[in-house]
């Protein structure tokens, strides 16, 4: 029995800065969601920005404690 590979997309710098996906990435993501129910966007999150935004919400880094990334990634699964 073979296991299907999940679709993994890496967004371009332009996609990350302007937010909309290219038509190619959007189509690939929709096909993956339809076929597998999941699409992995490997660089969809910026860990440093997430920490900064969370710090604003909770009133500073001290409230967060130690924060570390997993494999230096920044991926997300949709």
Instruction: Write down the mean pLDDT value for the chain.
Output: 77
Q: Has residue 1 been placed in a domain?
A: no
The kind and range of the H/E element at 8 are strand 8-9
Q: What is the mean pLDDT of residues 53-64?
A: 63
Q: Has residue 27 been placed in a domain?
A: yes
Question: Which residues in 51-69 are b (16+ Cβ under 10 Å) and which e?
Answer: eeeeeeeeeeeeeeeeeee
Q: Has residue 18 been placed in a domain?
A: yes
Residue with tokens 């130690």: 66
Confidence class of residue 7 from pLDDT cuts 50, 70 and 90? very high
Q: Has residue 43 been placed in a domain?
A: yes
Q: What residues make up the domain containing 31? A: 8-77
| pLDDT tens-digit readout, 29-51 | 999 999 999 999 999 887 777 77
Q: Has residue 55 been placed in a domain?
A: yes
Q: Count structural domains, the chain.
A: 1
Residue 69's pLDDT is 43
């Amino acid at each position: 029995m073979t296991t299907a590979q999940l679709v993994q997309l890496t967004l371009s710098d332009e996609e990350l800065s302007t937010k909309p996906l290219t038509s190619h990435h959007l189509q690939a993501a929709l096909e993956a969601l339809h076929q597998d129910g999941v699409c992995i966007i490997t660089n969809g999150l910026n860990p440093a920005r997430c920490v900064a935004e969370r710090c604003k919400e909770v009133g500073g880094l001290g409230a967060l404690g130690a924060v570390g990334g997993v494999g230096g990634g920044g991926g997300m699964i949709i």
